[in-house]
Structure 1
Amino acid sequence: DSFEDYSTFASCRNHGSASDECSSSSNYFVTTNRATHRRSLNVREQLPINARTGTDITHRNGGKCLLAKGLALPLCGLRVIKRIAVASWRCFVGYIRYVKERVSSTISRVKKTLRGSSDDIGWLQHTPGMPPVQDGTSRFLELLQEVRNGKHMLPDSFVYLLIPGLFSNHGPLYFVATKRFFSKMGLTCHIAKIHSEASVEHNAWELKHYVEELYWGSGKRVMLLGHSKGGVDAAAALSKYWNDLRDKVGGLALVQSPYGGTPIASDVLREGQIADKEARRVMELLICRIFKGDFRALEDLTYEKRKDFILSHKLPEEIPIISFHSEANIGPGVLVTMSHIAHAELPWLPIPQSLCGDSSDDYIQPLWRVPVMIPISAAMAICALHLKLRYGEKSDGVVTCRDAEVPGSVVIRPDRKLDHAWMVYSSKQKSPSEPDCCEMSEAILSLLVELGEAKRPATGRKKHR
């Protein structure tokens, strides 16, 4: 096309034509030529040719691209390997730290489990500022001998309140024999109707109202005798509400009470030891589900809880206090000892002639009362042996002797081997030459009355007489 246009333009020039056709062709040629020249420049710029030398650089650039592509894959591989190695190292270091923490935690739990209550037993004797105790064993034995000889010295100017311990609601014979014994002597005696599986603070509040009712109903002061947790509940009532009970309570006797705490409760509920959560769940099931009680009833007897309470609520100094503790027999003969804890009433049953001596073939007798006997003494002996071997401490099977001594009290330490349940449940193997729980309770309260008379001022003593 360019050649034809050029020919037309040349022809027009040669013939000197000024026609419109030649002029139009000339304009078209110039425009077309410029566009063609511009396209050629663009194409030249796009071609891989060195502008100065005119050499083709396509081959050289293609080599560099292939080289870069060849090196990129190994570099990416090295980066991936590096990242995998760093992640693996971090996982390994984290796992080592985790294993180290687990091993350290396990060792700490094992040490805490093996250590147990070694640092807590007898803490009352090591705490500065606690008043010393006095030994009243000799005077107690004298009073006990007088009681066994038939000389009863308890005055009827008091109301005697017996406070049962933990799980007493499930023992219908708890303190029954002692109350009957006191009633036969013409003394006013009651068994506190409290929920034994409740917390210490709850029972302290209940006992406060109980004592006030007895005082306003009889006009007599109340002598308190608490066994096991019952003694702890009574002491808490006096510690917290002494201003209300000052003129209503004559004295307090704690019999085998874990005033400072008990290793049995602490070893079971201690946090941070082996199987602590499992043991806690089992005790919650036992106390809350089966016995329908409050879990704090057992938790309040741990050393941690007792320390917090005692250091915050101290017993009044003007009231006489007696601490009675004993040591359980761990001999092999005690394993066959059975304790009478309840009566079971059987329905009417036909009794054979050989048993009733009647002439008829069958003889219908009213309800039978069969004693319920369980080996409580055997369980107490096993627990006492455990505490002896593990901590080297004397105990009644539940409470160590050192934890039962209330600071500032008169302590009774009998030589006779008595387990924790002996004071409230009678044994089938009873010796007539040895005092029973009723006589022991009378001797304890007699000593408590003497201590109260010695502490009272002369004016109060005359008024009391």
Structure 2
Amino acid sequence: MDSIFTNILGLTSYVSERFIQFIEDLVYRDANRYTEDFVVYDAVVISSVRCSRSYTSGRSSHPQVDGANHGIYERGMCTGSVILNTSYISEVVLLLLKGLTLPLFGLQYAWNMAISSWRYSFSCVRCAQVRIRRIASRLWITLRGSSDDIGWLLDAPGMPPVEDGTTRFLELLSDIRNGKHSLPNSFIYLLIPGLFSNHGPLYFVATKRFFSKMGLACHIAKVHSEASVEHNAWELKLYIEELYWGSGKRVMLLGHSKGGVDAAAALSLYWSDLKDKVAGLALVQSPYGGTPIASDILREGQIGDKETRMIMELIICKIIKGDIRALEDLTYERRKEFIMKHKLPREIPLISFHSEASIGPGVLATMTHIAHAELPWLPVPKFGAESDSDTLVKAGHQVPVVIPLSAAMAVCALHLLLRYGEKSDGLVTCRDAQVPGSVVVTPDRKLDHSWIVYSSKKKNPSDPDAYEMCEALLSLLVELGKTNKELEQV
């Protein structure tokens, strides 16, 4: 009786321990570990039961010594049967748990799918927002263009004011047209061409010929016009020193377009070497503060900026064999950086000449004479009031090359006027051509950017020529130099 009670008590304690373990496993959702532990334990129990059975089968051959062995045998048999039943119950419970957790897994999968879809949709929306903002920013930059940059130099703090010298310029121009010339022979006059001048054989040729006929030493600077500003500044520095050492005369500089920017850079960078060799500088239609044309073409962040830059690099670097920095150096960003770092010397006489291009309908049909081309040995009819026997021209006849350059400048000037409300010569606005501390000259007629270096076929005889305007500018520059010397002496 005691052994039975002891067995029941052990069975009860075992069942309570397993039930508590089951509850703990259920709470922590660790069914897999519970199953593995239970299977391992069942294997141990089954092996013990087999041992008990073998012991029972062998009991007939080995008689029992006392009643203790009989109690152990009966307790092992009872324990084995109870454990086997518990294993069966655990399998049933595990199956029920799997049946209950299957909907939970389904809900969890559906939730994960919903969360993933929501996250993907949110990421798509964020990407769309970023793209829309980027496109809007590019569109805004494209539409704004150079609105905030035009005329920045005149409003920059610390810049000296300009002085109007148009009245005196017109007086000198009138004297020159009446045959009164005042340019002295004590200087060398150096004409500095602008961008793409290497592809215009007649660039400054008429002005040089006119000065040479008056007995003045005049030269056209041999620089690579499609090179960077700093490169040309160094070349001009060497060129000026060569002219000075060869003649002993100081040099008067007249630079057109980018040529004026190159000359100003040479004075800013190498003034200590050139202060005794340069007498003055006249910047003619030069984008000293920058030009909206170059900035609008090469501005980063606008629509089609990479494609536009590739096209310009193809034209300038591959076709023209130049340097893209020649155009980059004329943008507002580069000019601001250079001017703030390298100032023009205050003691040098300076003239800023700017003009406004005509945008009338008649200008669109104007053709500009820019070069001569030599025809092969072919009979070409010659038109004019000459005898019939001289109506054919043969070997080596040169004919002018005429292109609608004035029409292109008129279109560009109209574009700048409509977009920015700025007057310009087609490439450079009037405000960007004014150099701080200089004498500003404005002609009394409308002239495009290329007029002063190329002659037009359609010309009014009462209007002055380009070389006469260049002479008037240099004459005014000589007077400014004399005035500065007198002020220094006083």
TM (normalized to structure 2)?
0.82
- Counterpart residue number, 1:260: 289
Q: Is the 8 Å Cα contact of residues 166 and 228 (structure 1) preserved in structure 2?
A: yes
Per-residue CA deviations over 1:213-237 (Å, capped at 9, x if unaligned) read 0000011000000000000000000
Q: Is the 8 Å Cα contact of residues 381 and 393 (structure 2) preserved in structure 1?
A: no
2:314 maps to a residue whose letter is: L
Secondary structure at the counterpart of residue 404 of structure 1 = coil
Counterpart-to-counterpart distance in 2, 1:96 and 1:123:
40
Counterpart-to-counterpart distance in 2, 1:40 and 1:112:
96
Q: Cα 1:31–1:363, aligned 2, differ >3 Å: closer, same or farther?
A: farther
Name whichever of 89-98 and 249-258 sits farther off.
Answer: 89-98
Shift of 1:272: 1.3
Q: Cα 1:36–1:364, aligned 2, differ >3 Å: closer, same or farther?
A: farther
Counterpart of 1:108 (choices 123, 130, 137) is 137
Q: How does 1:160-239 map to 2 (within 5 A)?
A: 160-239=189-268
Residue 376 (1) aligns with residue 405 (2): yes
- Counterpart residue number, 1:287: 316
Q: Cα 1:32–1:297, aligned 2, differ >3 Å: closer, same or farther?
A: farther
Counterpart of 1:29 (choices 54, 57, 61) is 61
Shift of 1:76: 2.1
Residue 346 (1) aligns with residue 375 (2): yes
- Counterpart residue number, 2:11: none
Shift of 1:62: 4.2
Counterpart of 2:123 (choices 69, 77, 94) is 94
Q: How does 1:434-449 map to 2 (within 5 A)?
A: 434-449=463-478
Residue 367 (1) aligns with residue 396 (2): yes
Q: Is the 8 Å Cα contact of residues 223 and 252 (structure 1) preserved in structure 2?
A: yes
Secondary structure at the counterpart of residue 456 of structure 1 = helix
Q: Cα 1:460–1:194, aligned 2, differ >3 Å: closer, same or farther?
A: farther
Q: Cα 1:135–1:27, aligned 2, differ >3 Å: closer, same or farther?
A: closer
Counterpart-to-counterpart distance in 2, 1:317 and 1:61:
102
Shift of 1:278: 1.3
Secondary structure at the counterpart of residue 420 of structure 1 = coil
Gaps of 5+ in 1: 1-25, 51-55
Secondary structure at the counterpart of residue 190 of structure 1 = strand
2:432 maps to a residue whose letter is: D
2:115 maps to a residue whose letter is: V
Shift of 1:201: 0.4
- Counterpart residue number, 1:325: 354
Name whichever of 271-280 and 195-204 sits farther off.
Answer: 271-280
Counterpart-to-counterpart distance in 1, 2:409 and 2:243:
35
Shift of 1:308: 0.8
Q: Cα 1:311–1:180, aligned 2, differ >3 Å: closer, same or farther?
A: same
Per-residue CA deviations over 1:350-396 (Å, capped at 9, x if unaligned) read 35799997889x97821121211100001100000000001110000
- Counterpart residue number, 1:12: none
Shift of 1:32: 11
Secondary structure at the counterpart of residue 128 of structure 1 = coil
Q: Is the 8 Å Cα contact of residues 369 and 456 (structure 2) preserved in structure 1?
A: yes
Counterpart of 1:244 (choices 247, 256, 273) is 273
Counterpart-to-counterpart distance in 1, 2:382 and 2:216:
44
Per-residue CA deviations over 1:13-56 (Å, capped at 9, x if unaligned) read xxxxxxxxxxxxx9992299999999997776444568xxxxx5
1:123 maps to a residue whose letter is: W
Secondary structure at the counterpart of residue 61 of structure 2 = helix
Q: Is the 8 Å Cα contact of residues 232 and 258 (structure 1) preserved in structure 2?
A: yes
Aligned sequence identity (%): 67
Q: How does 1:393-408 map to 2 (within 5 A)?
A: 393-408=422-437
Counterpart-to-counterpart distance in 2, 1:354 and 1:211:
45
Q: How does 1:284-323 map to 2 (within 5 A)?
A: 284-323=313-352
- Counterpart residue number, 1:119: 148
Shift of 1:73: 2.4
Counterpart-to-counterpart distance in 1, 2:234 and 2:94:
93
2:121 maps to a residue whose letter is: F
Counterpart of 1:334 (choices 363, 378, 385) is 363
Residue 74 (1) aligns with residue 106 (2): no
1:29 maps to a residue whose letter is: S
Counterpart of 1:131 (choices 156, 160, 170) is 160
2:485 maps to a residue whose letter is: R
Per-residue CA deviations over 1:72-97 (Å, capped at 9, x if unaligned) read 32222222222222222222222221
Per-residue CA deviations over 1:320-377 (Å, capped at 9, x if unaligned) read 00000000000000011111111111111135799997889x9782112121110000
TM (normalized to structure 1)?
0.86
Gaps of 5+ in 2: 1-57
Counterpart-to-counterpart distance in 1, 2:260 and 2:344:
12
Counterpart-to-counterpart distance in 2, 1:416 and 1:352:
37
Q: How does 1:268-279 map to 2 (within 5 A)?
A: 268-279=297-308
Per-residue CA deviations over 1:133-175 (Å, capped at 9, x if unaligned) read 0100000000000000111111110000000000001111100
Count of matched residue pairs? 430
Q: Is the 8 Å Cα contact of residues 164 and 439 (structure 2) preserved in structure 1?
A: yes
Per-residue CA deviations over 1:282-330 (Å, capped at 9, x if unaligned) read 1111111111111110000001110111111111111100000000000
Counterpart-to-counterpart distance in 2, 1:354 and 1:107:
59
Q: Cα 1:31–1:256, aligned 2, differ >3 Å: closer, same or farther?
A: farther
Q: Is the 8 Å Cα contact of residues 257 and 404 (structure 1) preserved in structure 2?
A: yes
Q: Is the 8 Å Cα contact of residues 353 and 359 (structure 1) preserved in structure 2?
A: no
Counterpart-to-counterpart distance in 2, 1:292 and 1:439:
34
Shift of 1:63: 3.2
Counterpart-to-counterpart distance in 2, 1:290 and 1:460:
53
Counterpart-to-counterpart distance in 1, 2:86 and 2:487:
128
Counterpart-to-counterpart distance in 1, 2:325 and 2:419:
26
Secondary structure at the counterpart of residue 340 of structure 1 = strand
Counterpart-to-counterpart distance in 2, 1:171 and 1:38:
122
Counterpart-to-counterpart distance in 2, 1:460 and 1:49:
124
Counterpart of 2:421 (choices 382, 392, 405) is 392
